Amino acid sequence: MPQAELVVVANRLPVDRDDSVEGGWRRSPGGLVTALEPVMRQAGGAWVGWAGQADHAPDPFDFDGTHLVPVPLSDEEIELYYEGFSNDTIWPLYHDVIAAPRYRRVWWDAYVKVNRRFAEAAASVTADGGTVWVQDYQLQLVPRMLRELRPDLTIGYFHHIPFPAYGLYSQLPWRRQVLEGLLGADVIGFQRVADAGNFARAVRRQLRYDTRASGIVVPEADGTTRVALAKAFPISIDTQSYVDLAQRADVQARAIEIRKSLGDPERILLGVDRLDYTKGIRHRLKAYGELLEDGRLRVEDVTLVQVASPSRERVAAYVQLRDEIELTVSRINGDRDTMGHTAIRYLHQGYPREEMVALFLAADVMLVTALRDGMNLVAKEYVAARADNRGVLILSEFAGAADELGTALRVNPHDIDALKDTIVRAVEMPAAEQGRRMRALRRKVLDNDVAKWSQDFLLALDQARTRTS
């Protein structure tokens, strides 16, 4: 087995199966994958993850300069570890119990077992004294398991979703084990300062460990202590690729075509989300529907395009959410549509990046109304695409991106009246104000791209290594 100096461990591999391309795999569209590609190529890195199909793990293979190590998951493990513990326990609990988390012991058992499998796979491909970077809530136990298997490694963990306040976190029957799992890492990264603070507080309350600034003093089995760093590293996007796409003539032509096909409304509002109850899609539809009903907006003048990409379709809360949203959309459209104009163009589909950027260029107002969101990269993508300094971003204060994107129109999505007023304000905003706000937003997103994020995190890990060696 080849040994790598840098190993990423994530629930999913950075590729998707596609039999129409040579080799049968294509790179996944996400920003994390794009950001790490040059780093992995340079380091001759390896990536440990699930290939996305049940009971089917191909042998390790090389892709774009990275060694990919598939971890098998059976159909039952997908149900218990991925759909169950990851997405029906941790996901709702960490997103402030917007949906009720379910605590099932068989799910936990599967989570432990699968985390161990990922840890063992990582342990077997990492070179002596190498670095492993674990990603996200599906793998919170991996840092500790890996440290026990390979004390020579430097271990990082990045948490892509929120970390909840202690009052909620303490519901988790396995709250100690999860904290101990995470504290196996030398550096634990969070999206917001508040998430790192919640984590440190949970550690103090639950484990009684000392915390000093961002450092947590972790006692080890041999009686020694070490300091783990827990701090914010807000993630971003590969900004330049959005800027480049937005400047392509075919993408700009497509934006005009989209506008035309919607009947050339004066204003296009846009929502782009995974179909998830954390995204506040219902709140957005409620506010918009009322604005049409009140006559403050007219269907002849505005259209809302809502892209809701399919997600976790076998988890009950997602099935129910889809039903509710589709009922609401068809009610609003049934009441408000005319032959020539639609209130909401609803698309339960995923699209390639080119089409998304064309949509961003066509959209006068971008609606990000998440009830809780680790970061929300769509907000950053919209800003990156608007090289013309036009367009208005409405941004929930409960999205991590709100910490950085201060000149967006901030909104509390639970306050429907305020959301309605903010939508009207965005629809009516003069071009000069749009430009002022968008320029400031763009500076943030251009200066802080995902390459900088990964450099900052890896630098912190490197410093952790020199501290302990």
Residues in region 3-32 near ligand G6P by CB under 6 A: 12
Q: How far is the CB of 52 from ligand G6P (least distance, A)?
A: 9
Q: How far is the CB of 370 from ligand G6P (least distance, A)?
A: 12
Q: How far is the CB of 62 from ligand G6P (least distance, A)?
A: 23
Q: How far is the CB of 430 from ligand G6P (least distance, A)?
A: 35
Pattern 173-212, ligand G6P, x by CB under 6 A: ----------------------------------------
Closer residue to ligand G6P in complex, CB, 49/184: 49
Do residues 190 and 163 lie in contact, with contact meaning Cβ atoms separated by under 8 Å?
yes
Contacts of 42 (CB under 8 A, 6+ apart): none
Closer residue to ligand G6P in complex, CB, 5/96: 96
Q: Given candidates 67, 95, 144, 160, which one binds ligand G6P under the rule CB under 6 A? A: 160
Q: How far is the CB of 12 from ligand G6P (least distance, A)?
A: 6
Pattern 308-327, ligand G6P, x by CB under 6 A: ---xx---------------
Q: Given candidates 136, 186, 373, 449, which one binds ligand G6P under the rule CB under 6 A? A: 136
Q: How far is the CB of 274 from ligand G6P (least distance, A)?
A: 6
Using rule CB under 6 A, residue 380 touches ligand G6P: no
Site size toward ligand G6P (CB under 6 A) is: 6
Closer residue to ligand G6P in complex, CB, 13/161: 161
Q: Given candidates 78, 161, 292, 359, which one binds ligand G6P under the rule CB under 6 A? A: 161
Closer residue to ligand G6P in complex, CB, 196/287: 196
Q: How far is the CB of 375 from ligand G6P (least distance, A)?
A: 9
Point out which residues bind ligand G6P (CB under 6 A): 12, 136, 160-161, 311-312
